[in-house]
Structure 1
Amino acid sequence: MGRRSLYPEEFRSDAVALFRAAGGRRTYAAVAADVGVTGETLRSWVRQADERAGRDRGSEAAEDRDEELARLRAELGRLRKAEAGVAVGAGDPAAGGPVFRPGDEDMTGRWDFISVHRADFGVQRICRVLGISRSGYYRWLAGAAARAARRADDDALVAEIREIPAAHRGTCGARRVHAELRGFGHTINRERVERLMRREGIEGRHLRRRKRTTIPDRLAPPAPDLVRRDFTAAGLDEKWCGDITYVQVGGTWLYLACVLDICSRRVLGWSTATHMRTELVVDALAMAVATRGGHADGVIFHADRGSQYTSAAFAQVSDHFGIRKSMGRVGSSYDNALAENFWQGLKREAVQGALTTVRQARLEIFQWLTYYNARRRHSSLGYLLPVESEQQYRAEHRLTLAA
């Protein structure tokens, strides 16, 4: 009998789904790098999944047909709504209406008008009628080459800016786009990036309304607040934090629990389920410990006072791993602000669209979590990636020990 895998079944099945979703466009090594395993490990997981699928292919095909039917129905509903929005009054100019409206006039338009008609009327006469100076027009002419060069630079930069949201699921705002461009070697200020994104109508995603997931158990013994809103850490595995959130899937809910390292902001463990029982947070914590090689002795784990985190089962698991529990106050989201901010990013960037099946939702979440760790720049880390932050910390720690 082979050695038991350190990775939970949920993680392995999601990794396999992520590889298959690439449709052959990405190699085992590329997908495995995002997930945090070796290419050969991912290959063996895919092979094992194929063997299991061969035993129950009939039921799998029926399930796929049901999911595809649900997806098509949701798409049909979306298209019907989109069709209704194209009607008169939806914001498009009426047929035969003016293209230019009051307020469109600017000096550039006047200079262009002079250039077009100067041969017929002369610059002096046109400037007198328009009430503008000839010297201003000639200065504008002298700067034509510089303006053309700036426009070309802007167009080239806009092309790069458009590629960044496309590579990041359309989620990047101006700050993160600016950080990506700096990472590519551009020396550019953020104001210019904001101006070009505003001009081209490029923007990140925004959040929708929230649903309550923290239900406190007022009879459970409280744990002290060992963090006190100080979401910084001097080293890895000094402080972790966790929380539960939800995504809507059709007419039901899918719940997600995560564990983050406060120092590196890396997601160490997560778990999804259609319920909010204690095993949801226990599984996420167990995965985080496995990610750290089974060692978590002395780590402070901070959460809210939800009944899952105050339960006896969670306390038992925490004690088993040597983890020190920490909890904020009831009803104060600021006491677990790092986790709350993490959920905002997830919902803004990963689950804005309609999700019709649990399988689809899990794949979307898994893709975003692996992307978050390996490819998403974090402002609190100086726009490093979480995995880069950990690599940099370990390198500096080794140099300190050597000294």
Structure 2
Amino acid sequence: MKKVLAQNISKRNSEKESKPFKVKWIYGCFGISKQAYYKRLKSYNNKVLNEKIMIKMIKEYRHQVGQRTGGRKLHNELIEPLKLLNIQIGRDKFFSFLSTHNLLVPKLRNYHITTNANHRFHKYKNLVKDKVPTRPEQLWVSDITYIKTDNGHNYLALVTDAYSKQIMGFKLANHMKASLCVDALKMAIQNKKYPNKKLIHHSDRGFQYCSNEYVRFAKANGITMSMTEQYDPYENAIAERINRTLKYEYGLKRTIKTTQIAQKMISEAVFIYNNLRKHNSLNLRKPAEVHLNPNIKYKSYKRNKNQLTELLF
């Protein structure tokens, strides 16, 4: 009742009504002291201000790092800056705050299938099924996703390190030829930090990855090929997940005006993803950091984690 009273009085005074209540009459009527009234009024005003500050910080962080940054990462990143402003909030209360202000991240729809495995090329065995990597540049995963522009579909090929989650190479083009994926792999090889380590390349069975052009280039660079056995997102879960993250967190899901603008947006998104975005699967560390300082235990997206063993390669 006292809280509601303070809110109502604050509202009436802010609206400058012609006949406002006399504060002395109010706190006398309800049996509270003058000091208690002003303390409650100050507390209410501080709460409103703190909420505005938190909403602004959350929106600014998501704008800089990713629109779909979840509550756990937000709390981890903002807890110290909030403390500097004398705003103390635990994780459960923080999630409640996100829910109250419609700031929780909505769930996404199912995966969109773009793989064409009906071709004449050799399909390689799955060498990494139920295996988890133990170091960077032991296992790379690759995939293609589409990017919509005003002048039609473009296609983005990605190569990602399965251990550190760092995007090693990417290429955007208006075609789905094997050269698209070869160019992404070339960039990944140029970005290698451990050139003498054995490396497996895992992908779906799309014709680009099975093509003679792609396989020859990979093998010429000492890379061993591995492929999914059937279409199941969990067989190439890391690549699928990164596709979705880039598209939904960095504005690549919407139709972009030109290919040139899309290219710039992708380059910026990859930089943020690798160097600024913290990952739950990396114990809230950044991919570029983990790639150079590999001392974490790998976390899998697979549902049944009890069947997993370390990848020995």
Aligned twin of 2:150: 250
Amino acid at match of 1:389: V
Amino acid at match of 1:269: G
Q: 1:235 aligns with which of 124, 135, 145?
A: 135
Aligned twin of 2:90: 189
Q: 2:231 aligns with which of 303, 321, 331?
A: 331
Amino acid at match of 1:309: Y
- Cα distance in 2, alignment partners of residues 392 and 289 from structure 1: 19
Counterparts of 1:292-311 in structure 2, within 5 Å, are 292=192, 295=195, 298-311=198-211
CA contact 1:296–1:323 (8 Å) conserved in 2: no
Structure 1: gaps spanning 5 or more residues: 1-105, 125-133, 395-403
CA contact 2:6–2:44 (8 Å) conserved in 1: no
- Secondary structure of the corresponding residue to residue 63 of structure 2: helix
- Cα distance in 2, alignment partners of residues 120 and 153 from structure 1: 27
- Secondary structure of the corresponding residue to residue 97 of structure 2: helix
Per-residue CA deviations over 1:229-283 (Å, capped at 9, x if unaligned) read 54x4211111111101111111411101111111111011111111111111111
Q: 2:176 aligns with which of 271, 276, 298?
A: 276
Deviation at 1:171, TM superposition (A): 4.2
- Secondary structure of the corresponding residue to residue 265 of structure 1: coil
CA contact 2:138–2:197 (8 Å) conserved in 1: no
Deviation at 1:207, TM superposition (A): 5.3
Whether 1:317 aligns to 2:217 is yes
- Secondary structure of the corresponding residue to residue 309 of structure 1: helix
**Alpha-carbon spacing, 1:340–1:239, altered in 2? closer, same or farther (3 Å):** same
Amino acid at match of 1:391: L
- Cα distance in 1, alignment partners of residues 9 and 68 from structure 2: 43
Counterparts of 1:2-401 in structure 2, within 5 Å, are 108-109=3-4, 112=7, 119=25, 123=29, 141=37, 144=40, 146-168=43-65, 170-182=67-79, 184=81, 186=83, 188-202=89-103, 211-217=112-118, 219-230=120-131, 232-292=132-192, 295=195, 298-350=198-250, 351-393=252-294
Amino acid at match of 1:334: Y
CA contact 1:242–1:301 (8 Å) conserved in 2: yes
- Cα distance in 2, alignment partners of residues 218 and 201 from structure 1: 47
Amino acid at match of 1:305: R
Deviation at 1:370, TM superposition (A): 1.4
> Bigger shift: 382-391 or 253-262?
382-391
Structure 2: gaps spanning 5 or more residues: 11-20, 296-313
**Alpha-carbon spacing, 1:247–1:208, altered in 2? closer, same or farther (3 Å):** farther
Aligned twin of 1:21: none
CA contact 2:172–2:263 (8 Å) conserved in 1: yes
Aligned twin of 2:15: none
Q: Which has the higher strand share?
A: 2
Amino acid at match of 2:97: L
Q: TM-score, normalised by structure 2?
A: 0.75
Deviation at 1:202, TM superposition (A): 4.0
- Cα distance in 2, alignment partners of residues 297 and 317 from structure 1: 17
Deviation at 1:155, TM superposition (A): 4.0
Per-residue CA deviations over 1:121-172 (Å, capped at 9, x if unaligned) read 9736xxxxxxxxx79x99x859725555555544443343232123236443
Aligned twin of 1:8: none
- Cα distance in 1, alignment partners of residues 238 and 106 from structure 2: 19
Q: Which has the higher helix share?
A: 1
Structure with greater Cα Rg: 1
**Alpha-carbon spacing, 1:261–1:192, altered in 2? closer, same or farther (3 Å):** same
CA contact 1:258–1:271 (8 Å) conserved in 2: yes
- Cα distance in 2, alignment partners of residues 384 and 114 from structure 1: 47
- Cα distance in 2, alignment partners of residues 282 and 332 from structure 1: 24
Per-residue CA deviations over 1:354-383 (Å, capped at 9, x if unaligned) read 312111111111111111111111111111
- Cα distance in 2, alignment partners of residues 242 and 162 from structure 1: 32
- Cα distance in 1, alignment partners of residues 82 and 288 from structure 2: 20
- Secondary structure of the corresponding residue to residue 256 of structure 1: strand
- Secondary structure of the corresponding residue to residue 240 of structure 1: strand
CA contact 1:214–1:304 (8 Å) conserved in 2: yes
Deviation at 1:181, TM superposition (A): 1.4
* Bigger RCO (CA 8 Å, 6+ sep): 2
- Cα distance in 2, alignment partners of residues 367 and 236 from structure 1: 23
- Cα distance in 2, alignment partners of residues 248 and 301 from structure 1: 27
Deviation at 1:387, TM superposition (A): 1.2
CA contact 1:247–1:253 (8 Å) conserved in 2: yes
Identity over aligned pairs, percent: 26
- Cα distance in 1, alignment partners of residues 6 and 193 from structure 2: 69
Per-residue CA deviations over 1:202-246 (Å, capped at 9, x if unaligned) read 45587578653210035433322122154x421111111110111
- Cα distance in 1, alignment partners of residues 80 and 204 from structure 2: 36
CA contact 2:137–2:199 (8 Å) conserved in 1: yes
Q: TM-score, normalised by structure 1?
A: 0.59
**Alpha-carbon spacing, 1:151–1:329, altered in 2? closer, same or farther (3 Å):** same
